[in-house]
């Protein structure tokens, strides 16, 4: 087995990802980038944070390296480790080290899911030092001007165990995301799927109904992502009510009573 060679050009986004701004988030991110400041994206799941990062990477013409954080994510997963290749021991950079070396954008998605001892490795990169110590190599990587560190999390899932430490969050410029205004969200669903405007408006209205149930039986209401899923099913010939049940209701909860209530909401519209 040969160690895979990292090719930054394969992480470049050639075609413009569709994104509709909901505020001044593009201008703020670009200003932070040019001032070499890290950025924190806050907002509910499925509201467009990842699409925003893809759009930003395209605008800045930088490779985007995304890490989906989870409970078992270790510092070595981010920084790198020694591997056996062809009978030899070789060092292989992790995604964070790759982004630093090649002046890319490293996007840590849902950072609170990572272990707290893992997130500590980003601290020297997220202040004016902009360095990444690689202790196993005795190397200190210095972030070039093109390097950018960004991360996201969902404040709706905050808890004592799943919160972002102040020592981490106060290193970042924060951007707050939410679901778009109804007319804009309907436009997004239409542009993503080609579905007619009337149905996209009904889907958005249905989503708003489920979002009103947040805290009253639902942890989260329907995201824009789920509306796109439902619209794609409808465009493929699936009955609209059935599409809402499968792509939205079943994705939100397993509780029978809550499902019945959501089914009634979709039936009232479709």
Mind listing the pLDDT tens digit for each residue in 106-139? 999 999 898 877 888 999 999 999 999 999 999 9
Cα 138 to Cα 133, 142, 184, 260: the distances in Å are: 8, 13, 51, 59
Question: Which contiguous run of DSSP H or E holds residue 25?
Answer: helix 25-34
Specify if 112 maps to a domain.
yes
Specify if 50 maps to a domain.
yes
Q: Which two tokens stand for residue 119?
A: 């997130």
Same domain, 36 and 148: yes
Same domain, 130 and 254: no
- CATH code, domain carrying 164: 3.40.50.300
At 44-94, the pLDDT tens digits run 999 999 999 999 999 999 999 999 999 899 999 999 999 988 888 999 999
Same domain, 51 and 163: yes
Same domain, 157 and 251: no
Tell which of 146, 176, 206 closes a domain.
176
> What does the pLDDT read at residue 4?
58
Q: What is the mean pLDDT of residues 31-46?
A: 96
Contacting residues for 114 by C-beta, under 8 A, at least 6 apart: 69, 70, 71, 73, 108
1 — pLDDT class (breaks 50, 70, 90): very low
Same domain, 248 and 212: yes
> What does the pLDDT read at residue 15?
96
> What does the pLDDT read at residue 2?
43
Phi-psi region of 250 (alpha: psi -120 to 50; beta: other; left: phi over 0): alpha
Tell which of 155, 176, 197 closes a domain.
176
Same domain, 153 and 263: no
* Average pLDDT of every residue of the chain: 93
> What does the pLDDT read at residue 160?
45
Same domain, 233 and 143: no
Same domain, 142 and 36: yes
Specify if 219 maps to a domain.
yes
CA–CA separation, 82 vs 92, rounded Å?
6
Same domain, 84 and 100: yes
Domain count, the chain: 2
Q: What is the mean pLDDT of residues 196-212?
A: 96
167 or 226, which is more confident: 226
Question: Could you give the percent of the chain with pLDDT greater than 70?
Answer: 96
Same domain, 42 and 139: yes
Tell which of 142, 176, 210 closes a domain.
176
Q: Which two tokens stand for residue 260?
A: 């019945």
Q: Is the pLDDT of residue 9 over 90?
A: no
Same domain, 195 and 147: no
Specify if 58 maps to a domain.
yes
At 163-191, the pLDDT tens digits run 788 899 999 999 999 999 999 999 999 99
Specify if 3 maps to a domain.
no
Q: Is the pLDDT of residue 11 over 60?
A: yes
Domain of 238 in residue numbering reads as: 182-269
Q: How far is C-alpha 242 from the geometric centre of its chain's CA atoms?
A: 28
Specify if 2 maps to a domain.
no
Question: Which contiguous run of DSSP H or E holds residue 203?
Answer: helix 197-211
> What does the pLDDT read at residue 119?
87
Q: Is the pLDDT of residue 148 over 70?
A: yes
Q: What is the mean pLDDT of residues 220-241?
A: 97
Specify if 1 maps to a domain.
no
Same domain, 154 and 230: no
Specify if 154 maps to a domain.
yes
């Amino acid at each position: 087995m040969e160690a895979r060679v990292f090719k930054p050009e394969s992480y470049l986004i050639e075609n413009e990802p569709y994104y509709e701004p909901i505020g001044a988030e593009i201008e703020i991110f670009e200003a932070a980038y040019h001032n070499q400041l890290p950025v924190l994206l806050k907002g509910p799941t499925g509201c467009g944070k990842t699409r925003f990062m893809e759009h930003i990477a395209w605008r800045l013409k930088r490779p985007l390296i995304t890490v989906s954080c989870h409970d078992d994510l270790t510092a070595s997963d981010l920084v790198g480790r020694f591997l056996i290749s062809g009978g030899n021991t070789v060092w292989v950079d992790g995604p964070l080290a790759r982004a630093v070396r090649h002046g890319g954008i490293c996007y840590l998605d849902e950072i609170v899911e990572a272990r707290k001892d893992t997130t500590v490795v980003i601290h020297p990169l997220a202040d004016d030092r902009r360095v990444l110590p690689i202790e196993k190599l005795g190397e200190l990587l210095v972030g070039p001007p093109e390097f950018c560190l960004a991360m996201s999390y969902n404040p709706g899932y905050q808890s004592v165990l799943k919160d972002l430490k102040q020592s981490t969050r106060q290193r970042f410029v924060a951007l707050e995301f939410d679901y778009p205004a109804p007319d804009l969200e309907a436009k997004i669903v239409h542009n993503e799927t080609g579905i007619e405007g009337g149905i996209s408006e009904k889907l958005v209205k249905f989503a708003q109904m489920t979002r009103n149930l947040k805290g009253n039986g639902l942890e989260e209401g329907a995201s824009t992502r789920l509306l796109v899923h439902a619209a794609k099913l409808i465009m493929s010939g699936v009955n609209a009510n059935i599409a809402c049940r499968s792509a939205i209701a079943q994705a939100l909860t397993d509780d029978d009573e809550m499902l019945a209530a959501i089914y009634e909401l979709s039936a009232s519209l479709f």
